[in-house]
Every structure is written in structure tokens, then in C-alpha cells.
């Protein structure tokens, strides 16, 4: 099987040797602007999330339901995919199946060409980033314009996203001002001459820059947060309104969606429309959610169902739970490693704790980088605690570490802690302790657990231990 492509070729090309997570992280940690931005961002969102999650008396029950709905869907994915295809087709939409990134890109390029257009507008979508759609379209003479403000910053800055929810979080306002002032004119309406670095002024510049494009575009490309098998409905959550612009104004809409985004019934949305906004932006509800079924209001609608390694993950007994992920980014915001290393260190479009498991699961562990990803964690368990679909990221990390022992990791440390990792009950207990420790930061765990704290860095004093970690490995080269 060919390697699954997960974007970011410029940063972590599979062909480039010597790329490792600690190496990338070491460079990132030296960037104080990045560290400052990340710390501010993750702390702010973390606090917001906590307040709106605590407000719901039935959060634990919603989380259990969310987990079970996803597991049930994955168990019966074939049935539900066929049901979805029927429903979308019946509602006037066209369904395409793409086994890998190349096929998806070919299908989309073909659909765009059939319209005669050479420009498309895009809604932020992890799936299309994953398959490198923009680059593939460019090779076919089609320019894709990102319309999410953060994606626009990333695109104009010729850069890569670093966070699932706020992809340009590594940029500060004066950098953004410069990017807009220098590059907007090359892509369309230039930035105003007197552009300041006030966030409202920057947002206004983006509004003006994109408005004409929205009004003129004939083809749009989106992803989707959910697809309902029973009804054929697609659901997109967003904040800015660029999603609604793309979903409603153009004559042709092409949605590229991973096969795991399915939910069996319309009713299941009552769970996920509570779990996702609160976990993601920390709001009771995001400003805009669009739902449409098939060809709507006279539009030509195409759905491209994407595998690209997902069925491989589904076959993985331990790893398949990663397919429950609804891309809320809560696990990024609580991760002490992400907070210091930033998103680019993970070398794929999926950063943070979920990326540390999803990337090697999807892409395999043939490269140094992918083998190092399962070690991009202190196993503190905070990601598991906040995950709205209860993905046990620490357990998957441990399993992946066992599959790809890394030369520069402390084998001895892993072995000493082995008895903990072998027993799920103990691991779960330990994760709970780890979660509580995030506020207490004790030096050592008592008794037999001391072996674990002695070799695991972050539950102690995260900042120092992370540095210890990459210092010890000489920036990952050892």
C-alpha cells in the first residue's frame, strides 16, 4: 500500500530524513513569540471550555452517548455509508468514493473542470488539507481561495496551519498586518493603505478582500462536521459566515468528507451539537451551523467520500477509537507538550495529542518523524479527560510506542513503568491522578508509581522536563 498522504510536505516531507518530533519541537520552543501566543490561546480556550461544560448537568452522559454513537456507527460503517449514499442521491446529490488522496483530488479537479471554472472558494476543512487538495488543483490550473480568516492568513503567508480550530495562532497581529499589506494584492482586492494591526481592522480588511470573491464564485469546496445516514443531511459548524457564503452562493458545491464523519440518525445530532461547540470554541453554540440535504435551493451538489487510510485505522483494534474524533481541538488546548511545541512540530495537518496517534495510524510508522510522534506526550491523561468522545489517547500512545520503539527514548524507563501500561485499570487510575496533578504538580508519585514519575517528565514540572527531554536527546538527533 502506498503511504497515506497527510499534508504538510514542506514541513515534514516523508522523504526528508532526520525529521523528528523532538527536533521540530526544539526549534519551536526557541521561538518565544510562538510560545507566548500558544500559551495565551490554549489557556483562554481552556477556561472558556471549562465554564460552558460545567454548566451542563449531563455532560458525562452526553459524552458517553457520543462515544457509543460513534462506536456503533464505526461497527456498522458499511451499512450506514450505503444508506447515506441512497439518501443523498434521492435528494438530488451525487456521491463519489475516493480510496485515497490522489483519487479524491482527481475527482474534485474533474468536477471543477466540468463547470468550466478555474477558481473555487473553500471553507476550512481538515480533510482537504489532509489530501493536499489546493496544491493538486493548482497543478490542474485551478486556484483555490481559502475563506476562513485564519486559513486566509495561512494561505497569504505561504504557511501551514498550527491548530485545528485557530490555524494561525502562531502569528501575532503585527505579523498578520504585514502579511495582509504585502500579499492581499497578489490574490485579489489589496489591503487598505492605512491598515492597522487592530484585530477589528484586520477582520474588516479580510471581509472586504473576500466579499467580491464570494459574490462572484461559481464553485465552492467544503468539508463537513457530520453526515446523517438516515436523511443524507450534511452539517457544517462555523463562526465567521464564510462557510455559509460558500455553501449557499455558488452554483456548484463539492463536499469532501472522511467516511468516519457519519452519524446514523438525525436525532444523534442532539448529542453532537452539544458536545462539539462547547469542547471546541468554548461557546454554548457556535455562531452559524448550516444543514442541507442533497441539491438545495437549485444547487448542483457533489459529495466525495474519503477513505485515505481510515479503513486501515478501523482495522486496528486499539487505534480505531481515534476515528471517533470530531476535531474539536480540546485535547490540543490541554496538552502541555502542544503548548510548548506548537502545531508544526507534529509534521501533519493533525497536531496535538490526536495528531500524535492519528498521524502514525493513518500514515504508518516508516519515518523517524512518525515513529517519534507517539512519544510527543507525557501521558498525563488530560487529553482523555477533555475528549468529548472519550478517546483514550494515552492508551493508544502506549500501544504505538510498543510497536515503534524509538532509539532515543529511554527504554529502561519504559520498561520500569511497563507493569502500569500493561494493566488498563492501573493505567486509568494513573491517568486520573495525572489529571488531578495538573494543578498540584507533585514531584513524585508515591510507592511503586515513583518509577513512572521518575521517567515521565511532564507530570512533574512540565516546562523544565520538556526541555530536559529534548536537551537529553540533543534536539532529537540522538
Partner 1 sequence: MSSRDLILARVRAAVAGVPDVEVPRAYRGTASAAAGAEGLVELFAERVRDYKAVVHVVAEPEVPALVARSVAERPARRLAVPGGFPASWLEQSEIDQVTDEPRLGAADLDAVDGVLTTCALAIAETGTIVLDAGPGQGRRALTLVPDYHLCLVRADQIVAGVPDAVARLDPVRPLTWISGPSATSDIELNRVEGVHGPRTLEVVIVV
Q: Least Å distance between CB 334 and ligand SF4?
A: 8
Within 367-386, which residues bind ligand SF4 (CB under 6 A)?
A: 386
321 near ligand SF4, judged by CB under 6 A: no
Euclidean distance between CA atoms 152 and 132, whole angstroms: 16
Within 176-195, which residues bind ligand SF4 (CB under 6 A)?
A: none
Beta strands at 143-146 and 94-98: parallel, antiparallel or unpaired: unpaired
Q: Least Å distance between CB 228 and ligand SF4?
A: 19
Q: Least Å distance between CB 389 and ligand SF4?
A: 5
With CB under 8 A as the rule, give the number of residues binding partner 1.
91
Mapping DSSP onto H, E and C, the string for 225-293 reads CEEECCCCEEEEEECCCHHHHHHHCCCEEEEEEEHHHEECCHHHHHHHHHHHHHHHCCCCCCCEEEEEE
Hey, which residues does 300 pair with through a beta bridge? 252
Q: Least Å distance between CB 242 and partner 1?
A: 5
194 near partner 1, judged by CB under 8 A: no
391 near ligand SF4, judged by CB under 6 A: yes
331 near ligand SF4, judged by CB under 6 A: yes
- Runs of H (alpha helix) within 317-455: 330-333, 336-341, 352-363, 368-372, 382-386, 393-403, 411-416, 418-422, 424-440, 450-455
Q: Which of 215, 425, 439, 440 binds partner 1 (CB under 8 A)?
A: 215
Residue (78 or 193) nearer to partner 1, CB:
78
363 near partner 1, judged by CB under 8 A: no
With CB under 6 A as the rule, give the number of residues binding ligand SF4.
14
Beta strands at 226-228 and 233-238: parallel, antiparallel or unpaired: antiparallel
Within 273-332, which residues bind partner 1 (CB under 8 A)?
A: 273-274, 281, 283-293, 296-297, 305, 307, 311-312, 314-315, 320
Count of other CB atoms within 10 angstroms of residue 474: 12
Report the candidate in 60, 43, 53, 44 with the shortest Cα–Cα distance to residue 276: 53
DSSP string of 324-352? G-----HHHHT-HHHHHH-SGGG-SSS-H
Within 81-140, which residues bind partner 1 (CB under 8 A)?
A: 81-82, 91, 97-99, 103
183 near partner 1, judged by CB under 8 A: no
Q: Least Å distance between CB 352 and ligand SF4?
A: 7
Q: Which secondary structure element, helix H or strand E, spans residue 126, and what is its range?
A: helix 126-130
Within 142-181, which residues bind partner 1 (CB under 8 A)?
A: 147-150, 153, 166-169, 172-173, 176
328 near ligand SF4, judged by CB under 6 A: yes
Residue (337 or 387) nearer to ligand SF4, CB:
387
Is 320:310 a contact under the CB 8 Å cutoff? Answer: no
Q: Which three cell numbers stand for residue 438?
A: 495538573
388 near ligand SF4, judged by CB under 6 A: yes
Binding mask 270-309 for ligand SF4 (x = CB under 6 A): ---------x------------------------------
Residue (17 or 311) nearer to partner 1, CB:
311
Long-range contacts of 187-196, Cβ-Cβ distance < 8 Å, separation of 24 or more: 187/145, 187/155, 187/156, 188/145, 188/212, 188/213
Is 306:257 a contact under the CB 8 Å cutoff? Answer: yes
Residue 331 binds which of ligand SF4, partner 1, none (CB < 5-8 A, kind-dependent)? ligand SF4
> Residue 81 — left, alpha, or beta (φ > 0 → left; ψ -120 to 50 → alpha)?
alpha
Q: Least Å distance between CB 329 and partner 1?
A: 12
Euclidean distance between CA atoms 214 and 218, whole angstroms: 9
363 near ligand SF4, judged by CB under 6 A: no
Q: Least Å distance between CB 407 and partner 1?
A: 31
40 near partner 1, judged by CB under 8 A: yes
User: Coil, helix or strand for 162?
Assistant: coil
- Site stretch for ligand SF4 (CB under 6 A), options 83-91, 98-106, 174-182, 329-337: 329-337
Hey, which residues does 263 pair with through a beta bridge? 228
Residue (8 or 276) nearer to partner 1, CB:
276
Residue-wise burial string across 36-46, b where 16 or more C-beta atoms lie within 10 A, e elsewhere:
ebbeebbeebb
Euclidean distance between CA atoms 41 and 142, whole angstroms: 34
Residue 327 binds which of partner 1, ligand SF4, none (CB < 5-8 A, kind-dependent)? ligand SF4
Q: Which of 255, 299, 329, 395 binds ligand SF4 (CB under 6 A)?
A: 329
53 near ligand SF4, judged by CB under 6 A: no
- Site stretch for partner 1 (CB under 8 A), options 14-22, 36-44, 410-418, 420-428: 36-44
Within 56-85, which residues bind partner 1 (CB under 8 A)?
A: 57-58, 61-62, 64-65, 68-69, 71-72, 74-78, 81-82
Q: Kindly list the distances between the CA atom of residue 361 and the CA atoms of 238, 355, 406, in Å, as whole numbers in the listed order.
A: 28, 9, 16
Q: Least Å distance between CB 68 and partner 1?
A: 4
Query: Which positions touch ligand SF4 (CB under 6 A)?
Result: 279, 325-331, 354, 386-389, 391
Amino acid at each position: 500500500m502506498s503511504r497515506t498522504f497527510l499534508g504538510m510536505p514542506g514541513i515534514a516531507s516523508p522523504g526528508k530524513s532526520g525529521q523528528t518530533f523532538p527536533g521540530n519541537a526544539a526549534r519551536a520552543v526557541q521561538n518565544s513569540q510562538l510560545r507566548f501566543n500558544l500559551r495565551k490561546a490554549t489557556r483562554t480556550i481552556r477556561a472558556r471550555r471549562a465554564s460552558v461544560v460545567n454548566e451542563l448537568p449531563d455532560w458525562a452522559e452526553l459524552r458517553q452517548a457520543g462515544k457509543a454513537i460513534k462506536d456503533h456507527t464505526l461497527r456498522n460503517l458499511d451499512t450506514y455509508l450505503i444508506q447515506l449514499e441512497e439518501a443523498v442521491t434521492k435528494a438530488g446529490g451525487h456521491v463519489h468514493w475516493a480510496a485515497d488522496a490522489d483519487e479524491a483530488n482527481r475527482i474534485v479537479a474533474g468536477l471543477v473542470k466540468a463547470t468550466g471554472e478555474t477558481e473555487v472558494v473553500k471553507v476550512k476543512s481538515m480533510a482537504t488539507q489532509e489530501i493536499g487538495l489546493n496544491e493538486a488543483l493548482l497543478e490542474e490550473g485551478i486556484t483555490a481561495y481559502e475563506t476562513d480568516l485564519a486559513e486566509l492568513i495561512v494561505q497569504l503567508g505561504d504557511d501551514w496551519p498550527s491548530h485545528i480550530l485557530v490555524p494561525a495562532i502562531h502569528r501575532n497581529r503585527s505579523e498578520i498586518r504585514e502579511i495582509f499589506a504585502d500579499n492581499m494584492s497578489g490574490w485579489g482586492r489589496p489591503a487598505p493603505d492605512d491598515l492597522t494591526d487592530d484585530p477589528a481592522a484586520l477582520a474588516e480588511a479580510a471581509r472586504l478582500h473576500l466579499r467580491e470573491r464570494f459574490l462572484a464564485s461559481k464553485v465552492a469546496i467544503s468539508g463537513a462536521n457530520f453526515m446523517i445516514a438516515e436523511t443524507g443531511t450534511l452539517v457544517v459548524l462555523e463562526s465567521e459566515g464564510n462557510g455559509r457564503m460558500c455553501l449557499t452562493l455558488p452554483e456548484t458545491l463539492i463536499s469532501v468528507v472522511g467516511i468516519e464523519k457519519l452519524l446514523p440518525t438525525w436525532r444523534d445530532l442532539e448529542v453532537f451539537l452539544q458536545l462539539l461547540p462547547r469542547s471546541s470554541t468554548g461557546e454554548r453554540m457556535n455562531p452559524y451551523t448550516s444543514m442541507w440535504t442533497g441539491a438545495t435551493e437549485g444547487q448542483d451538489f457533489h459529495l466525495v467520500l474519503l477513505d485515505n487510510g481510515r479503513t486501515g485505522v478501523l482495522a486496528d483494534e486499539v487505534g480505531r477509537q481515534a476515528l471517533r474524533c470530531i476535531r474539536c481541538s480540546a485535547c490540543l488546548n490541554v496538552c502541555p507538550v502542544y503548548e510548548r511545541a506548537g502545531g508544526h512540530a507534529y509534521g501533519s495537518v493533525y497536531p496535538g495529542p490526536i495528531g500524535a496517534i492519528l498521524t502514525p495510524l493513518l500514515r504508518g510508522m516508516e519515518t523517524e518523524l512518525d515513529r517519534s510522534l507517539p512519544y510527543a506526550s507525557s501521558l498525563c491523561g488530560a487529553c482523555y479527560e477533555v475528549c468529548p468522545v472519550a478517546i483514550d489517547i494515552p492508551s493508544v500512545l502506549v500501544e504505538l510506542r510498543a510497536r515503534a520503539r524509538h532509539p532515543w527514548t529511554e527504554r529502561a524507563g519504559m520498561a520500569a513503568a511497563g507493569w502500569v501500561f500493561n494493566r488498563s485499570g492501573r493505567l486509568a487510575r494513573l491517568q486520573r491522578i495525572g489529571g488531578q496533578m495538573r494543578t498540584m504538580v507533585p514531584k513524585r508519585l508515591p510507592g511503586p508509581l515513583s518509577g513512572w514519575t521518575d521517567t515521565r517528565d511532564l507530570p512533574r514540572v512540565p516546562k523544565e522536563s520538556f526541555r530536559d527531554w529534548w536537551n537529553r536527546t540533543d534536539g532529537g538527533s540522538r
